[in-house]
Amino acid sequence: MLEVIQIPVMEDNYLYLIHDKHSLQTAIVDPAVKDPVLEECEKQGWTLTHILNTHHHWDHTGANKALKAETGCEIIGFEGDAERIPGIDRTVKEGDKISLGSHHAQIFEVPGHTSGHIAFYFENSKALFIGDTLFAMGCGRLFEGTPQQMWSSFAKFINLPDETVIYCAHEYTQSNGRFALTVEPENTDLINRMVDVDRLRTENKPTVPFLLGLDKATNPFLRPNSAAIREKLDMKYASDAEVFGMLRSMKDNF
């Protein structure tokens, strides 16, 4: 199994340091800032060898060049966004695989939040590094994509095993859950999850990573086929993408 260490930075960002104990290769996912990454590497006795970027936004790539200058690590990102990812060395696309020692990650192209967003899926570790595409009980804003694009992106991972651990990049869970309750107020799984979320946040503990199966039961953006949600939105005969788009528009103004 991959070793994964979550590093909270700035207001609500999460970075993920991932390590293969056999090869000693170590990657950081979406490094917003440099010092916490290097400090954690020093604490663990690890040497940074890779940066994995899910998309180009500054709070995911801000430390790329500084970490590369310090460690000589290789920066990996989407080929279609090479001009927007600082210091990129290796480009990848849908269906490609990368290796971190004996661990292999499949690349999913998941546009919507940005036009060039990707995700890294380590099947053997049941770990999906999803950036800003999916959040606990929420999803990323559609800055460069359409509802149809984002819903099509979800189709690439929604049928992964329920035990898949989702590593998203922000602590937005409490707000997302409050919105979810407005569109599916009688969902008992959602109600129970929010009790846990509120407790964790009161204790200043993270609510992510989380299990895909739990999110499928409680995240309205993964549930546009829900009869309760469709009735609430008066969209009984709409497509899933249309329901998703309405939910995203409502959340934008929540």
Residue 125: name the closest of 153, 106, 148 by CA.
106
The two beta strands, 13-19 and 26-29, are: antiparallel
- Within 8 A by CB and 6+ apart from 196, the residues are 207
103 is in an annotated binding site: no
Amino acid present at 13: N
Is 19 annotated for ligand binding? Answer: no
Counting other chains too, the contacts that 42-49 makes at CB distance below 8 Å and 24 or more residues apart are 44/5, 44/17, 44/19, 46/17, 46/19, 47/71, 48/73, 49/25, 49/73, 49/74
Q: Are 61 and 91 within 8 A, CB to CB?
A: no
**12 appears as a binding residue in the annotation:** no
**Per-residue model confidence as pLDDT tens digits over 156-215:** 999 999 999 999 999 999 999 999 999 999 999 999 999 999 999 999 999 999 999 999
Instruction: Record the pTM.
Output: 0.96
Tokens of 14: 């999460």
Q: What is the pLDDT of residues 16-39, one digit of tens each?
A: 999 999 999 999 999 999 999 999
Residues labelled as active-site residues: 55, 57, 59-60, 113, 132, 170
Q: What is the predicted pLDDT for the residue at 201? A: 96
Q: How confident is the model at residue 1 (pLDDT cuts 50, 70, 90)?
A: confident
Radius of gyration of the chain (CA): 18
* Contact present, 115 and 80 (Cβ < 8 Å): yes
Flag whether 22 is marked binding: no
CA dihedral for 217, 221, 226, 227, sign (positive or negative): positive
Q: Is 50 annotated as a binding residue?
A: no
pLDDT at residue 54 is higher than 90: yes
Q: Is 59 annotated as a binding residue?
A: yes
> What's the Cα-to-Cα distance from 103 to each of 2, 3, 23, rounded to whole Å?
7, 11, 10
All domains in the chain, ordered by first residue: 1-92 (3.60.15.10), 119-254 (3.60.15.10)
What's the chain's average pLDDT?
A: 97
The per-residue pLDDT for 211 is 98
DSSP 172: -
The 8-class DSSP code of residue 223 comes to -
- What average pLDDT does the segment 60-80 reach? 98
Return phi, psi of residue 25, to 5°: -75, 145
